Protein backbone atom coordinates (compact mmCIF):
# COMPACT_ATOMS: atom_id res chain seq x y z
CA UNK A 1 0.00 0.00 0.00
CA UNK A 2 2.86 2.37 0.84
CA UNK A 3 3.97 2.66 -2.78
CA UNK A 4 0.61 4.21 -3.77
CA UNK A 5 -0.04 6.51 -0.78
CA UNK A 6 1.05 10.13 -0.35
CA UNK A 7 1.98 10.34 -4.02
CA UNK A 8 0.48 11.23 -7.37
CA UNK A 9 -1.23 7.82 -7.34
CA UNK A 10 -3.63 9.23 -4.71
CA UNK A 11 -5.21 11.44 -7.38
CA UNK A 12 -5.38 8.73 -10.07
CA UNK A 13 -8.83 7.29 -9.08
CA UNK A 14 -10.47 10.72 -9.37
CA UNK A 15 -8.68 11.49 -12.64
CA UNK A 16 -9.88 8.17 -14.11
CA UNK A 17 -13.47 8.77 -12.99
CA UNK A 18 -13.57 12.31 -14.40
CA UNK A 19 -11.95 11.31 -17.70
CA UNK A 20 -14.35 8.38 -18.17
CA UNK A 21 -17.38 10.55 -17.37
CA UNK A 22 -16.38 13.13 -19.98
CA UNK A 23 -15.52 10.48 -22.60
CA UNK A 24 -18.40 8.03 -22.12
CA UNK A 25 -21.04 10.63 -21.07
CA UNK A 26 -22.11 8.12 -18.41
CA UNK A 27 -21.49 9.11 -14.82
CA UNK A 28 -22.53 6.14 -12.66
CA UNK A 29 -20.13 3.58 -14.13
CA UNK A 30 -17.34 6.17 -14.40
CA UNK A 31 -17.53 7.02 -10.71
CA UNK A 32 -17.75 3.39 -9.72
CA UNK A 33 -14.68 2.45 -11.78
CA UNK A 34 -12.76 5.30 -10.12
CA UNK A 35 -13.85 4.01 -6.71
CA UNK A 36 -12.72 0.45 -7.53
CA UNK A 37 -9.33 1.71 -8.77
CA UNK A 38 -8.91 3.61 -5.49
CA UNK A 39 -9.81 0.48 -3.52
CA UNK A 40 -7.35 -1.65 -5.52
CA UNK A 41 -4.50 0.82 -4.97
CA UNK A 42 -5.24 1.08 -1.25
CA UNK A 43 -5.49 -2.72 -0.82
CA UNK A 44 -2.43 -3.35 -3.00
CA UNK A 45 -4.66 -5.25 -5.47
CA UNK A 46 -5.99 -7.72 -2.89
CA UNK A 47 -9.57 -8.58 -4.03
CA UNK A 48 -11.05 -9.19 -0.56
CA UNK A 49 -9.41 -6.13 1.00
CA UNK A 50 -10.51 -4.03 -2.00
CA UNK A 51 -14.17 -5.03 -1.57
CA UNK A 52 -14.00 -4.32 2.16
CA UNK A 53 -12.38 -0.92 1.66
CA UNK A 54 -14.79 0.14 -1.11
CA UNK A 55 -18.01 -0.87 0.61
CA UNK A 56 -17.26 -0.76 4.34
CA UNK A 57 -14.71 2.06 4.67
CA UNK A 58 -16.02 3.86 1.61
CA UNK A 59 -19.71 3.64 0.81
CA UNK A 60 -21.09 2.55 4.20
CA UNK A 61 -18.69 4.87 5.99
CA UNK A 62 -19.83 7.87 3.93
CA UNK A 63 -23.52 7.03 4.26
CA UNK A 64 -23.18 6.74 8.04
CA UNK A 65 -21.45 10.12 8.33
CA UNK A 66 -23.86 12.51 10.12
CA UNK A 67 -23.01 15.47 7.84
CA UNK A 68 -23.66 13.46 4.67
CA UNK A 69 -26.89 11.97 6.01
CA UNK A 70 -28.10 15.47 6.88
CA UNK A 71 -27.44 16.63 3.31
CA UNK A 72 -29.30 13.63 1.90
CA UNK A 73 -32.31 14.31 4.15
CA UNK A 74 -32.24 17.96 3.08
CA UNK A 75 -32.20 16.83 -0.58
CA UNK A 76 -35.18 14.54 -0.06
CA UNK A 77 -37.20 17.25 1.70
CA UNK A 78 -36.32 19.78 -1.03
CA UNK A 79 -37.44 17.28 -3.66
CA UNK A 80 -40.73 16.81 -1.83
CA UNK A 81 -41.25 20.59 -1.57
CA UNK A 82 -40.52 21.14 -5.25
CA UNK A 83 -43.01 18.40 -6.18
CA UNK A 84 -45.63 19.92 -3.86
CA UNK A 85 -45.13 23.36 -5.43
CA UNK A 86 -45.51 21.84 -8.89
CA UNK A 87 -48.65 19.86 -7.97
CA UNK A 88 -50.18 22.90 -6.28
CA UNK A 89 -49.75 24.90 -9.49
CA UNK A 90 -47.41 27.42 -7.85
CA UNK A 91 -44.58 26.88 -10.35
CA UNK A 92 -46.94 27.15 -13.34
CA UNK A 93 -48.54 30.31 -11.92
CA UNK A 94 -45.12 31.86 -11.35
CA UNK A 95 -44.16 30.99 -14.93
CA UNK A 96 -47.27 32.76 -16.21
CA UNK A 97 -46.60 35.79 -13.98
CA UNK A 98 -42.93 35.95 -14.98
CA UNK A 99 -43.80 35.76 -18.68
CA UNK A 100 -45.60 39.11 -18.35
CA UNK A 101 -42.81 40.74 -16.31
CA UNK A 102 -39.65 39.09 -17.64
CA UNK A 103 -40.11 39.70 -21.34
CA UNK A 104 -36.70 38.92 -22.84
CA UNK A 105 -34.11 36.16 -22.81
CA UNK A 106 -31.61 38.63 -21.31
CA UNK A 107 -34.05 39.48 -18.53
CA UNK A 108 -34.58 35.80 -17.72
CA UNK A 109 -30.84 35.20 -17.41
CA UNK A 110 -30.26 38.32 -15.30
CA UNK A 111 -33.20 37.40 -13.05
CA UNK A 112 -31.68 33.93 -12.53
CA UNK A 113 -28.30 35.46 -11.64
CA UNK A 114 -29.94 37.98 -9.30
CA UNK A 115 -31.88 35.28 -7.46
CA UNK A 116 -28.74 33.15 -7.18
CA UNK A 117 -26.82 36.07 -5.68
CA UNK A 118 -29.64 36.79 -3.21
CA UNK A 119 -29.75 33.20 -1.95
CA UNK A 120 -26.21 33.18 -0.56
CA UNK A 121 -26.82 31.18 2.60
CA UNK A 122 -25.73 27.80 1.29
CA UNK A 123 -24.75 26.42 -2.11
CA UNK A 124 -26.93 23.28 -1.90
CA UNK A 125 -29.93 25.35 -0.92
CA UNK A 126 -29.11 27.84 -3.70
CA UNK A 127 -28.92 25.20 -6.47
CA UNK A 128 -32.24 23.53 -5.77
CA UNK A 129 -34.22 26.65 -4.91
CA UNK A 130 -33.07 28.76 -7.88
CA UNK A 131 -33.61 25.79 -10.20
CA UNK A 132 -37.18 25.15 -9.09
CA UNK A 133 -38.13 28.84 -9.21
CA UNK A 134 -36.48 29.86 -12.49
CA UNK A 135 -37.02 26.73 -14.62
CA UNK A 136 -40.48 27.83 -15.90
CA UNK A 137 -39.11 31.29 -16.74
CA UNK A 138 -36.00 30.12 -18.61
CA UNK A 139 -38.01 27.45 -20.45
CA UNK A 140 -40.45 30.12 -21.58
CA UNK A 141 -37.64 32.20 -23.12
CA UNK A 142 -35.86 29.34 -24.85
CA UNK A 143 -32.87 29.14 -22.50
CA UNK A 144 -31.43 25.64 -22.51
CA UNK A 145 -31.33 23.57 -19.34
CA UNK A 146 -27.53 23.47 -19.76
CA UNK A 147 -27.38 27.29 -19.60
CA UNK A 148 -29.71 27.32 -16.61
CA UNK A 149 -27.51 24.75 -14.85
CA UNK A 150 -24.46 26.94 -15.52
CA UNK A 151 -26.17 30.05 -14.14
CA UNK A 152 -27.23 28.10 -11.04
CA UNK A 153 -23.79 26.57 -10.49
CA UNK A 154 -22.00 29.88 -11.08
CA UNK A 155 -24.11 31.66 -8.46
CA UNK A 156 -23.82 28.89 -5.85
CA UNK A 157 -20.27 28.35 -4.57
CA UNK A 158 -18.81 31.55 -6.15
CA UNK A 159 -21.38 33.67 -4.30
CA UNK A 160 -21.21 31.74 -1.01
CA UNK A 161 -17.42 32.18 -0.87
CA UNK A 162 -17.77 35.99 -0.87
CA UNK A 163 -20.71 36.11 1.57
CA UNK A 164 -19.59 36.63 5.21
CA UNK A 165 -22.89 35.17 6.45
CA UNK A 166 -22.96 31.75 4.82
CA UNK A 167 -22.16 28.14 5.62
CA UNK A 168 -18.94 28.57 3.63
CA UNK A 169 -17.71 31.45 5.77
CA UNK A 170 -18.46 29.30 8.80
CA UNK A 171 -16.31 26.51 7.37
CA UNK A 172 -13.36 28.74 6.45
CA UNK A 173 -13.21 30.46 9.83
CA UNK A 174 -12.30 27.19 11.53
CA UNK A 175 -9.22 26.46 9.43
CA UNK A 176 -6.82 29.10 10.78
CA UNK A 177 -5.44 28.47 14.27
CA UNK A 178 -4.49 31.42 16.45
CA UNK A 179 -6.21 34.03 14.25
CA UNK A 180 -9.65 35.56 13.86
CA UNK A 181 -11.02 33.37 11.09
CA UNK A 182 -14.00 35.60 10.26
CA UNK A 183 -11.79 38.70 10.05
CA UNK A 184 -9.47 36.80 7.72
CA UNK A 185 -12.42 35.69 5.56
CA UNK A 186 -13.75 39.25 5.23
CA UNK A 187 -10.31 40.66 4.35
CA UNK A 188 -9.83 37.95 1.71
CA UNK A 189 -13.13 38.73 -0.09
CA UNK A 190 -11.80 41.58 -2.33
CA UNK A 191 -9.04 39.29 -3.62
CA UNK A 192 -11.41 36.47 -4.61
CA UNK A 193 -11.05 37.20 -8.31
CA UNK A 194 -12.66 33.97 -9.51
CA UNK A 195 -15.93 34.64 -7.67
CA UNK A 196 -16.32 38.25 -8.82
CA UNK A 197 -15.18 37.57 -12.38
CA UNK A 198 -17.65 34.67 -12.68
CA UNK A 199 -20.50 37.07 -11.91
CA UNK A 200 -19.10 39.61 -14.40
CA UNK A 201 -18.90 36.87 -17.04
CA UNK A 202 -22.53 35.80 -16.60
CA UNK A 203 -23.75 39.38 -16.98
CA UNK A 204 -21.56 40.07 -20.03
CA UNK A 205 -22.73 36.86 -21.75
CA UNK A 206 -26.36 37.77 -21.04
CA UNK A 207 -26.22 41.40 -22.19
CA UNK A 208 -23.86 40.77 -25.14
CA UNK A 209 -26.16 37.91 -26.25
CA UNK A 210 -23.55 35.36 -27.17
CA UNK A 211 -22.27 31.93 -26.15
CA UNK A 212 -19.36 29.81 -27.27
CA UNK A 213 -18.17 26.22 -27.19
CA UNK A 214 -20.60 23.39 -26.34
CA UNK A 215 -22.93 25.88 -24.65
CA UNK A 216 -23.54 27.62 -27.98
CA UNK A 217 -24.59 24.30 -29.49
CA UNK A 218 -26.91 23.59 -26.54
CA UNK A 219 -28.52 27.02 -26.93
CA UNK A 220 -28.94 26.53 -30.69
CA UNK A 221 -30.56 23.13 -30.14
CA UNK A 222 -32.93 24.68 -27.62
CA UNK A 223 -33.85 27.40 -30.10
CA UNK A 224 -34.53 24.84 -32.83
CA UNK A 225 -36.63 22.71 -30.48
CA UNK A 226 -38.64 25.77 -29.46
CA UNK A 227 -39.12 26.75 -33.10
CA UNK A 228 -40.34 23.26 -33.91
CA UNK A 229 -42.70 23.35 -30.93
CA UNK A 230 -40.75 20.49 -29.41
CA UNK A 231 -39.94 22.33 -26.23
CA UNK A 232 -39.31 19.39 -24.00
CA UNK A 233 -35.72 18.27 -24.44
CA UNK A 234 -34.80 14.68 -23.59
CA UNK A 235 -33.28 14.68 -20.14
CA UNK A 236 -31.03 12.00 -18.77
CA UNK A 237 -32.13 9.73 -15.97
CA UNK A 238 -29.03 10.97 -14.18
CA UNK A 239 -30.96 13.94 -12.83
CA UNK A 240 -34.30 12.35 -12.16
CA UNK A 241 -35.81 14.22 -15.08
CA UNK A 242 -36.56 11.19 -17.18
CA UNK A 243 -39.63 11.32 -19.35
CA UNK A 244 -42.76 10.42 -17.46
CA UNK A 245 -46.44 11.41 -17.60
CA UNK A 246 -47.09 14.89 -16.29
CA UNK A 247 -48.55 14.78 -12.77
CA UNK A 248 -51.91 16.45 -12.16
CA UNK A 249 -51.54 20.16 -11.43
CA UNK A 250 -54.07 22.07 -9.40
CA UNK A 251 -55.89 24.73 -11.47
CA UNK A 252 -56.27 26.81 -8.28
CA UNK A 253 -52.53 27.50 -7.96
CA UNK A 254 -51.35 31.10 -7.63
CA UNK A 255 -47.93 32.76 -7.41
CA UNK A 256 -48.25 32.86 -3.62
CA UNK A 257 -48.24 29.05 -3.62
CA UNK A 258 -44.65 29.18 -4.85
CA UNK A 259 -43.41 32.34 -3.17
CA UNK A 260 -44.63 31.67 0.37
CA UNK A 261 -43.07 28.16 0.63
CA UNK A 262 -39.76 29.53 -0.74
CA UNK A 263 -39.79 32.41 1.77
CA UNK A 264 -40.66 29.96 4.56
CA UNK A 265 -37.79 27.74 3.44
CA UNK A 266 -35.27 30.60 3.49
CA UNK A 267 -36.42 31.93 6.88
CA UNK A 268 -36.60 28.49 8.50
CA UNK A 269 -33.19 27.44 7.16
CA UNK A 270 -31.55 30.63 8.47
CA UNK A 271 -33.17 30.08 11.88
CA UNK A 272 -32.13 26.41 11.80
CA UNK A 273 -28.50 27.29 11.06
CA UNK A 274 -28.17 29.99 13.72
CA UNK A 275 -29.92 27.66 16.19
CA UNK A 276 -27.16 25.07 15.70
CA UNK A 277 -24.61 27.85 16.22
CA UNK A 278 -25.99 28.85 19.62
CA UNK A 279 -27.88 32.03 18.69
CA UNK A 280 -30.70 31.22 21.12
CA UNK A 281 -28.16 30.58 23.84
CA UNK A 282 -26.79 34.12 23.73
CA UNK A 283 -24.35 34.12 20.79
CA UNK A 284 -24.46 36.99 18.29
CA UNK A 285 -25.93 36.40 14.83
CA UNK A 286 -22.52 36.46 13.11
CA UNK A 287 -20.89 34.18 15.70
CA UNK A 288 -23.84 31.79 15.53
CA UNK A 289 -23.44 31.57 11.76
CA UNK A 290 -19.70 30.98 12.17
CA UNK A 291 -20.36 28.10 14.57
CA UNK A 292 -23.35 26.67 12.74
CA UNK A 293 -23.71 23.10 11.54
CA UNK A 294 -25.12 23.68 8.05
CA UNK A 295 -26.11 20.06 7.53
CA UNK A 296 -28.26 19.87 10.68
CA UNK A 297 -29.55 23.44 10.35
CA UNK A 298 -30.76 22.87 6.80
CA UNK A 299 -32.56 19.68 7.88
CA UNK A 300 -34.31 21.52 10.72
CA UNK A 301 -35.28 24.44 8.47
CA UNK A 302 -36.45 22.42 5.48
CA UNK A 303 -38.48 20.00 7.64
CA UNK A 304 -40.37 22.86 9.32
CA UNK A 305 -40.86 24.56 5.93
CA UNK A 306 -42.28 21.32 4.48
CA UNK A 307 -44.81 21.02 7.30
CA UNK A 308 -45.81 24.69 6.93
CA UNK A 309 -46.18 24.23 3.16
CA UNK A 310 -48.52 21.24 3.57
CA UNK A 311 -50.61 23.17 6.13
CA UNK A 312 -50.74 26.21 3.79
CA UNK A 313 -51.86 24.12 0.81
CA UNK A 314 -54.53 22.36 2.86
CA UNK A 315 -55.78 25.65 4.29
CA UNK A 316 -56.04 27.27 0.83
CA UNK A 317 -57.51 24.04 -0.63
CA UNK A 318 -55.23 23.87 -3.66
CA UNK A 319 -54.39 20.27 -2.67
CA UNK A 320 -56.10 17.80 -0.38
CA UNK A 321 -54.25 15.74 2.22
CA UNK A 322 -53.96 12.65 -0.01
CA UNK A 323 -52.52 14.69 -2.89
CA UNK A 324 -49.94 16.24 -0.56
CA UNK A 325 -48.88 12.86 0.77
CA UNK A 326 -48.67 11.40 -2.75
CA UNK A 327 -46.38 14.25 -3.83
CA UNK A 328 -43.83 13.57 -1.08
CA UNK A 329 -42.57 10.15 -2.29
CA UNK A 330 -42.65 11.44 -5.87
CA UNK A 331 -40.31 14.24 -4.77
CA UNK A 332 -38.07 11.66 -3.10
CA UNK A 333 -37.97 9.64 -6.35
CA UNK A 334 -36.97 12.73 -8.35
CA UNK A 335 -33.88 13.11 -6.14
CA UNK A 336 -32.75 9.47 -6.18
CA UNK A 337 -30.36 9.88 -9.15
CA UNK A 338 -28.72 12.94 -7.56
CA UNK A 339 -28.42 11.04 -4.27
CA UNK A 340 -26.78 8.10 -6.06
CA UNK A 341 -24.25 10.36 -7.79
CA UNK A 342 -23.52 12.12 -4.49
CA UNK A 343 -22.99 8.79 -2.74
CA UNK A 344 -20.52 7.68 -5.41
CA UNK A 345 -18.75 11.07 -5.32
CA UNK A 346 -18.37 10.92 -1.53
CA UNK A 347 -17.09 7.35 -1.75
CA UNK A 348 -14.55 8.36 -4.40
CA UNK A 349 -13.37 11.17 -2.10
CA UNK A 350 -12.97 8.60 0.70
CA UNK A 351 -10.73 6.55 -1.62
CA UNK A 352 -8.47 9.51 -2.44
CA UNK A 353 -8.39 10.51 1.25
CA UNK A 354 -7.29 7.03 2.27
CA UNK A 355 -4.49 7.19 -0.30
CA UNK A 356 -3.19 10.42 1.24
CA UNK A 357 -4.11 12.94 -1.47
CA UNK A 358 -4.19 15.74 1.10
CA UNK A 359 -0.69 15.01 2.38
CA UNK A 360 0.70 14.80 -1.15
CA UNK A 361 -0.75 18.16 -2.22
CA UNK A 362 0.18 19.72 1.11
CA UNK A 363 3.81 18.73 0.61
CA UNK A 364 3.82 20.41 -2.83
CA UNK A 365 2.51 23.68 -1.41
CA UNK A 366 4.92 23.62 1.54
CA UNK A 367 7.84 23.09 -0.83
CA UNK A 368 6.92 26.24 -2.74
CA UNK A 369 6.10 28.24 0.39
CA UNK A 370 9.60 27.50 1.72
CA UNK A 371 11.14 29.02 -1.39
CA UNK A 372 11.34 32.74 -0.62
CA UNK A 373 12.60 33.48 -4.14
CA UNK A 374 9.14 32.92 -5.60
CA UNK A 375 6.94 34.09 -2.72
CA UNK A 376 5.36 36.78 -4.92
CA UNK A 377 4.10 34.04 -7.23
CA UNK A 378 2.72 32.01 -4.32
CA UNK A 379 -0.92 33.22 -4.74
CA UNK A 380 -0.94 32.12 -8.40
CA UNK A 381 0.64 28.77 -7.49
CA UNK A 382 -1.83 28.19 -4.62
CA UNK A 383 -4.71 29.06 -6.96
CA UNK A 384 -3.56 26.45 -9.48
CA UNK A 385 -3.06 23.77 -6.81
CA UNK A 386 -6.50 24.57 -5.38
CA UNK A 387 -8.13 24.23 -8.81
CA UNK A 388 -6.46 20.88 -9.54
CA UNK A 389 -7.12 19.41 -6.09
CA UNK A 390 -10.78 20.47 -5.99
CA UNK A 391 -11.29 19.24 -9.56
CA UNK A 392 -9.78 15.85 -8.74
CA UNK A 393 -11.52 15.36 -5.40
CA UNK A 394 -14.78 17.22 -6.06
CA UNK A 395 -14.67 19.12 -2.78
CA UNK A 396 -13.90 22.78 -2.25
CA UNK A 397 -14.30 22.60 1.53
CA UNK A 398 -11.82 19.75 1.69
CA UNK A 399 -9.44 21.69 -0.55
CA UNK A 400 -9.28 24.87 1.46
CA UNK A 401 -9.30 22.75 4.61
CA UNK A 402 -6.01 21.29 3.35
CA UNK A 403 -4.40 24.40 1.88
CA UNK A 404 -5.42 27.28 4.18
CA UNK A 405 -3.60 25.96 7.30
CA UNK A 406 -0.48 25.34 5.19
CA UNK A 407 -0.52 28.86 3.72
CA UNK A 408 -1.22 30.43 7.12
CA UNK A 409 1.63 28.47 8.68
CA UNK A 410 4.03 29.62 5.94
CA UNK A 411 3.32 33.23 6.96
CA UNK A 412 3.24 32.56 10.71
CA UNK A 413 -0.53 33.33 10.92
CA UNK A 414 0.39 37.00 10.46
CA UNK A 415 -2.80 38.80 9.42
CA UNK A 416 -0.80 41.99 8.86
CA UNK A 417 0.93 40.36 5.90
CA UNK A 418 -1.09 41.32 2.82
CA UNK A 419 0.51 38.56 0.73
CA UNK A 420 -0.86 35.98 3.20
CA UNK A 421 -4.37 37.40 2.77
CA UNK A 422 -3.99 37.23 -1.03
CA UNK A 423 -2.65 33.66 -0.90
CA UNK A 424 -5.50 32.46 1.32
CA UNK A 425 -8.03 34.15 -0.97
CA UNK A 426 -6.32 32.44 -3.93
CA UNK A 427 -6.72 29.14 -2.10
CA UNK A 428 -10.46 29.70 -1.63
CA UNK A 429 -10.89 30.91 -5.21
CA UNK A 430 -8.99 27.92 -6.58
CA UNK A 431 -11.07 25.52 -4.50
CA UNK A 432 -14.30 27.07 -5.77
CA UNK A 433 -13.05 27.03 -9.37
CA UNK A 434 -12.08 23.35 -9.21
CA UNK A 435 -15.39 22.55 -7.51
CA UNK A 436 -17.21 24.48 -10.24
CA UNK A 437 -15.50 22.44 -12.99
CA UNK A 438 -15.55 18.99 -11.42
CA UNK A 439 -18.14 16.38 -12.51
CA UNK A 440 -17.89 14.74 -9.09
CA UNK A 441 -18.50 17.93 -7.11
CA UNK A 442 -21.66 17.79 -5.02
CA UNK A 443 -22.48 21.40 -5.98
CA UNK A 444 -22.19 20.54 -9.69
CA UNK A 445 -24.44 17.53 -9.13
CA UNK A 446 -26.98 19.70 -7.29
CA UNK A 447 -26.94 22.28 -10.10
CA UNK A 448 -27.76 19.54 -12.62
CA UNK A 449 -30.59 18.33 -10.39
CA UNK A 450 -31.90 21.87 -9.83
CA UNK A 451 -31.98 22.61 -13.56
CA UNK A 452 -33.13 19.07 -14.44
CA UNK A 453 -30.26 18.92 -16.92
CA UNK A 454 -28.17 15.94 -18.02
CA UNK A 455 -25.23 15.95 -15.62
CA UNK A 456 -22.47 15.29 -18.13
CA UNK A 457 -23.96 17.87 -20.52
CA UNK A 458 -23.88 20.42 -17.70
CA UNK A 459 -20.22 19.68 -16.99
CA UNK A 460 -19.11 19.74 -20.63
CA UNK A 461 -20.98 22.97 -21.45
CA UNK A 462 -19.82 24.96 -18.44
CA UNK A 463 -16.19 23.76 -18.46
CA UNK A 464 -14.99 26.22 -21.17
CA UNK A 465 -16.68 29.08 -19.30
CA UNK A 466 -15.10 28.15 -15.97
CA UNK A 467 -11.67 27.71 -17.58
CA UNK A 468 -11.94 31.17 -19.20
CA UNK A 469 -12.56 32.80 -15.82
CA UNK A 470 -9.84 30.68 -14.22
CA UNK A 471 -7.27 31.84 -16.80
CA UNK A 472 -8.07 35.52 -16.20
CA UNK A 473 -8.07 34.95 -12.42
CA UNK A 474 -4.62 33.34 -12.63
CA UNK A 475 -3.26 36.44 -14.37
CA UNK A 476 -4.88 38.61 -11.69
CA UNK A 477 -3.18 36.56 -8.94
CA UNK A 478 0.21 36.90 -10.65
CA UNK A 479 -0.29 40.68 -10.72
CA UNK A 480 -1.60 40.84 -7.13
CA UNK A 481 1.46 38.95 -5.85
CA UNK A 482 3.56 41.93 -6.86
CA UNK A 483 1.17 44.90 -6.51
CA UNK A 484 -0.67 43.62 -3.39
CA UNK A 485 -3.60 46.02 -3.59
CA UNK A 486 -7.10 44.92 -4.53
CA UNK A 487 -8.00 48.51 -5.42
CA UNK A 488 -5.69 48.14 -8.43
CA UNK A 489 -5.88 44.39 -9.12
CA UNK A 490 -9.67 43.96 -9.12
CA UNK A 491 -10.32 46.64 -11.81
CA UNK A 492 -7.49 45.14 -13.89
CA UNK A 493 -9.10 41.70 -13.55
CA UNK A 494 -12.55 43.01 -14.55
CA UNK A 495 -11.16 44.82 -17.62
CA UNK A 496 -9.22 41.69 -18.64
CA UNK A 497 -12.36 39.55 -18.20
CA UNK A 498 -14.53 41.80 -20.36
CA UNK A 499 -11.81 42.18 -22.99
CA UNK A 500 -11.29 38.40 -23.12
CA UNK A 501 -15.00 37.75 -23.62
CA UNK A 502 -15.34 40.28 -26.43
CA UNK A 503 -12.22 38.85 -28.08
CA UNK A 504 -13.83 35.39 -27.92
CA UNK A 505 -17.05 36.84 -29.33
CA UNK A 506 -15.16 38.40 -32.24
CA UNK A 507 -13.29 35.16 -32.98
CA UNK A 508 -16.43 32.99 -32.85
CA UNK A 509 -18.33 35.45 -35.05
CA UNK A 510 -15.48 35.41 -37.57
CA UNK A 511 -15.46 31.59 -37.62
CA UNK A 512 -19.24 31.50 -38.06
CA UNK A 513 -19.02 33.92 -41.00
CA UNK A 514 -16.20 31.97 -42.69
Asked whether residue 166 carries a pLDDT value surpassing 70, the answer given is no
The DSSP-derived string for 17-70 is: HHHHHHHHS-HHHHHHHHHHHHHHHHTTT-HHHHHHIIIIIIIIHHHT-HHHHH
User: In the prediction, which pLDDT does 174 show?
Assistant: 58
The kind and range of the H/E element at 358 are helix 357-369
User: In the prediction, which pLDDT does 178 show?
Assistant: 54
**Could you read off the pLDDT of 195-236 as tens digits, one per residue?**
999 999 999 999 998 899 899 888 888 766 655 544 444 444
**Could you read off the pLDDT of 17-70 as tens digits, one per residue?**
878 877 887 778 888 999 999 999 999 999 999 999 999 999 999 899 888 898
**Section 149-161 average pLDDT:** 88
Contact status, residue 344 vs residue 35, Cβ threshold 8 Å: yes
Q: How confident is the model at residue 504 (pLDDT cuts 50, 70, 90)?
A: very high
User: In the prediction, which pLDDT does 244 show?
Assistant: 43
CA dist., res. 78 & res. 409, Å (int): 40
**Section 61-81 average pLDDT:** 87
**DSSP structural state of residue 165:** S
Close Cβ partners of 15 (under 8 Å, ≥ 6 residues apart): 392
Mean pLDDT of the chain: 83
User: In the prediction, which pLDDT does 236 show?
Assistant: 41
Q: How confident is the model at residue 412 (pLDDT cuts 50, 70, 90)?
A: low
**Section 245-250 average pLDDT:** 67
Listed by start position, the domains of the chain span 66-176+212-224+236-338
Amino acid sequence: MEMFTNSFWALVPAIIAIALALITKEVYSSLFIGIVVGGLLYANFSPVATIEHVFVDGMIGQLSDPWNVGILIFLVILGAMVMLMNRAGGSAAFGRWASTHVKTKVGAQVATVALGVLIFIDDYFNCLTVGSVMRPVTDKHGISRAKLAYLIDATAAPVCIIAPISSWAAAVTGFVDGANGLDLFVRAIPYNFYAFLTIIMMLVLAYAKFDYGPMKLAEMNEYLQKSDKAKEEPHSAMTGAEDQPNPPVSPKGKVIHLVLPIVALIVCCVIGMIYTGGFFEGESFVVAFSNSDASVGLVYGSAVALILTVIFYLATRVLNFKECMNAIPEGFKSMVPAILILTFAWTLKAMTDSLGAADYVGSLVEAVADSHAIMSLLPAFVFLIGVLLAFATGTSWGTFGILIPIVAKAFGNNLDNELMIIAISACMAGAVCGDHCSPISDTTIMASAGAQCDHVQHVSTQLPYAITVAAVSLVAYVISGFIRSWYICMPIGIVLMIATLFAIKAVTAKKAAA
